[in-house]
Structure 1
Amino acid sequence: MDTVTDHISDFFTSHLTGPLLAWNDIDRGLNRSSYFHGFSVGGNIADTKDAPENSMAALELALKSSKYVLFDVQLASDGAAVVIKDATTGRTTEKNMTVAQSSSVDLAKLNLKTGEGTVPLFKDMMDKCREKEAKVVLQVQENSQALLAEISDYVRKNFVKEAKSRKMMVVALDADSKPAQNWLHDVAKIPYFTRNLKNMDGAKHTEAAKEE
């Protein structure tokens, strides 16, 4: 598994610094430095040469040496989230399909080009991460309310009652949209960061959520 030092360095430079960052620091002991400590030797399963990108095989490989993983999430036509970066499947699988126009059932049947496995469901990937107590960075590829709701539903059902839930997930997304702003307020109990925020409304939503 390739180390992701350069990727995470760029990740911090591009998204985790400056006045446009809205960071949800719910736990007093949690900040972006402690959350990402050690991530440079972890698994960017969205970009690896040792297993198909965004695959269960890449996740398993990453978790052998790290408790930190990063992968991409998109929404299929049936409302289920799947783990894939591109809007179409042609680059990474045996068949070219448009993710947003295909069901998760059909997408999950597609064999990956560069190795064994199929397109993973978000739920299955997160179940494995929870099992291994891995910290996760989700790279959200769109800001649709449906996708954000799918992620937050999983959080509510699986993380809320777990002691370490608020230290297990970070979500990267372009937050300059009303759906994203509403979602940040809705799931303020998990750590997240936003990027491309033109104002600090997201941070204000977070503070309001803390007071409720």
Structure 2
Amino acid sequence: MKDYDVIIIGAGVSGCAIARELAKGKLRIAVLEAKSDVCEGTSKANSGIVHAGYDAVPGTLKAQLNVRGNEMMEELSKKLDFPFRRNGSLVLCFEEDAMSGLEELYQRGMENGVKELKLLSPEEVWAMEPAVSRDIVGALYAPTGGIVCPFGLNIALAENAAENGVEFYRDHKVTAIVEQRPVWTENPPAKEGRM
């Protein structure tokens, strides 16, 4: 294998997104994937929900990235031509005793900077979604929530990264890494994967 400035292990959504972003610089980048193609690991089982950011603990990196990633998704879908729909999300509550949990999610969302977040009465929910159970006592509505096809997103990220010079090694499982200053190498070197 050639020398690279950056090697990313895994060609799922995260690995391909990182590769795409780093490809904007003048780096030699490789992505090593154990499977035969991108999006064959955890990413293929993703629910496709683009969370609004109301459930992450305020002040954490996860909260910051969740909200920021949500905000970026629409523009990214246009740039890379993958389907994305901002259809909003509802968290339904069926017991009065559980409303405090819904209110906690609302407070978290407000602290995280989630836009347009609202607590809704049953009547407000039924006006939006008439088929929702008549047993609800309230709901949290996040209009910024959305859905995306995990495969479409992952493939679009990988294609764009490859177009910008990132090299992909498929069928290339990393089993060990050794530091040999000033570089890191695989130990033992894995077989050359398909490009």
TM normalised by structure 2 equals 0.29
In terms of fraction of residues, the more strand-rich structure is 2
Of structures 1 and 2, the larger Rg is shown by 2
Task: Say which structure, 1 or 2, has more relative contact order (CA 8 Å, 6+ apart).
Answer: 2
TM normalised by structure 1 equals 0.27
